[in-house]
Protein backbone atom coordinates (compact mmCIF):
# COMPACT_ATOMS: atom_id res chain seq x y z
CA UNK A 1 0.00 0.00 0.00
CA UNK A 2 2.69 2.52 0.98
CA UNK A 3 4.77 1.49 -2.05
CA UNK A 4 1.90 2.38 -4.36
CA UNK A 5 1.45 5.78 -2.72
CA UNK A 6 5.19 6.48 -2.90
CA UNK A 7 5.26 5.47 -6.56
CA UNK A 8 2.40 7.75 -7.58
CA UNK A 9 3.65 10.69 -5.51
CA UNK A 10 7.03 10.22 -7.20
CA UNK A 11 5.38 10.24 -10.63
CA UNK A 12 3.52 13.45 -9.75
CA UNK A 13 6.79 15.08 -8.62
CA UNK A 14 8.55 14.08 -11.84
CA UNK A 15 5.65 15.54 -13.85
CA UNK A 16 5.72 18.78 -11.83
CA UNK A 17 9.45 18.97 -12.49
CA UNK A 18 8.83 18.70 -16.22
CA UNK A 19 6.35 21.57 -16.01
CA UNK A 20 8.91 23.69 -14.12
CA UNK A 21 11.51 22.92 -16.80
CA UNK A 22 9.09 24.02 -19.50
CA UNK A 23 8.21 27.23 -17.64
CA UNK A 24 11.88 28.00 -16.99
CA UNK A 25 12.70 27.52 -20.67
CA UNK A 26 9.84 29.78 -21.72
CA UNK A 27 11.03 32.39 -19.22
CA UNK A 28 14.52 32.28 -20.66
CA UNK A 29 13.10 32.95 -24.10
CA UNK A 30 10.48 35.57 -23.24
CA UNK A 31 11.74 37.61 -20.28
CA UNK A 32 13.21 41.03 -21.11
CA UNK A 33 16.55 41.32 -19.31
CA UNK A 34 19.38 39.38 -17.71
CA UNK A 35 18.16 39.52 -14.13
CA UNK A 36 14.66 38.26 -14.84
CA UNK A 37 16.05 35.57 -17.13
CA UNK A 38 18.42 34.55 -14.35
CA UNK A 39 15.40 34.14 -12.10
CA UNK A 40 13.73 31.91 -14.70
CA UNK A 41 16.89 29.82 -14.97
CA UNK A 42 17.02 29.38 -11.21
CA UNK A 43 13.35 28.39 -11.05
CA UNK A 44 14.03 25.90 -13.84
CA UNK A 45 17.05 24.51 -11.99
CA UNK A 46 15.35 24.21 -8.61
CA UNK A 47 11.90 23.14 -9.74
CA UNK A 48 13.11 21.27 -12.79
CA UNK A 49 15.90 19.34 -11.12
CA UNK A 50 15.29 19.12 -7.38
CA UNK A 51 11.61 18.19 -7.50
CA UNK A 52 12.03 15.39 -10.09
CA UNK A 53 15.06 14.03 -8.24
CA UNK A 54 12.97 13.76 -5.09
CA UNK A 55 10.34 12.00 -7.22
CA UNK A 56 12.94 9.58 -8.57
CA UNK A 57 14.02 8.89 -5.02
CA UNK A 58 10.45 8.01 -4.06
CA UNK A 59 9.96 5.87 -7.16
CA UNK A 60 13.18 4.01 -6.44
CA UNK A 61 12.10 3.32 -2.86
CA UNK A 62 8.72 2.06 -4.05
CA UNK A 63 10.06 -0.31 -6.68
CA UNK A 64 10.73 -3.95 -5.86
CA UNK A 65 12.57 -4.84 -9.06
CA UNK A 66 15.61 -2.57 -8.55
CA UNK A 67 18.54 -4.37 -6.94
CA UNK A 68 20.14 -1.15 -5.62
CA UNK A 69 17.04 0.83 -4.81
CA UNK A 70 18.45 2.38 -1.62
CA UNK A 71 21.60 3.51 -3.44
CA UNK A 72 19.56 5.08 -6.23
CA UNK A 73 17.19 6.76 -3.77
CA UNK A 74 20.05 8.05 -1.62
CA UNK A 75 22.09 9.31 -4.56
CA UNK A 76 19.15 11.16 -6.08
CA UNK A 77 18.24 12.68 -2.69
CA UNK A 78 21.82 13.86 -2.04
CA UNK A 79 22.04 15.26 -5.57
CA UNK A 80 18.80 17.15 -5.01
CA UNK A 81 20.19 18.65 -1.81
CA UNK A 82 23.41 19.71 -3.54
CA UNK A 83 21.48 21.38 -6.37
CA UNK A 84 19.22 23.05 -3.82
CA UNK A 85 22.28 24.66 -2.23
CA UNK A 86 24.38 25.39 -5.33
CA UNK A 87 21.79 26.80 -7.77
CA UNK A 88 20.73 29.87 -5.75
CA UNK A 89 24.33 30.54 -4.76
CA UNK A 90 25.44 30.45 -8.38
CA UNK A 91 22.65 32.71 -9.57
CA UNK A 92 23.42 35.18 -6.78
CA UNK A 93 27.09 35.21 -7.80
CA UNK A 94 26.14 35.82 -11.44
CA UNK A 95 23.76 38.66 -10.55
CA UNK A 96 26.32 40.27 -8.24
CA UNK A 97 29.06 40.05 -10.87
CA UNK A 98 26.78 41.52 -13.55
CA UNK A 99 25.84 44.38 -11.22
CA UNK A 100 29.44 45.11 -10.22
CA UNK A 101 30.76 45.05 -13.78
CA UNK A 102 27.82 47.08 -15.08
CA UNK A 103 27.64 44.66 -18.00
CA UNK A 104 23.84 44.70 -17.99
CA UNK A 105 21.98 47.92 -18.68
CA UNK A 106 18.88 48.36 -16.57
CA UNK A 107 17.04 51.08 -14.72
CA UNK A 108 16.08 49.84 -11.26
CA UNK A 109 13.41 51.45 -9.14
CA UNK A 110 15.50 50.87 -6.03
CA UNK A 111 19.16 49.78 -5.94
CA UNK A 112 20.25 48.99 -2.40
CA UNK A 113 23.64 47.67 -3.52
CA UNK A 114 24.53 50.98 -5.17
CA UNK A 115 23.30 52.88 -2.09
CA UNK A 116 25.53 50.76 0.16
CA UNK A 117 28.53 51.32 -2.13
CA UNK A 118 27.96 55.08 -2.04
CA UNK A 119 28.30 55.15 1.76
Helices (H), the chain: 2-30, 34-45, 51-62, 69-101, 112-118
Q: How many structural domains is the chain composed of?
A: 1
pTM of the model: 0.82
Domain that holds residue 55: 2-118
In angstroms, the CA 54 to CA 9 distance is 10
| Residue percentage of the chain with pLDDT more than 70 | 100
Band (pLDDT 50/70/90 cuts) for residue 32 is confident
**Distance between CA atoms of residues 32 and 16, nearest Å:** 25
Task: Inform me whether the pLDDT recorded for 73 exceeds 90.
Answer: yes
| Cα gap 102→53, rounded to integer Å | 36
Amino acid sequence: MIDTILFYVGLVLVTIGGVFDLLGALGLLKFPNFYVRLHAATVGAIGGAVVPLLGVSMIALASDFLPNKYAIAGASFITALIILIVAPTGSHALAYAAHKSRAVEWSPVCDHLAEDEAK
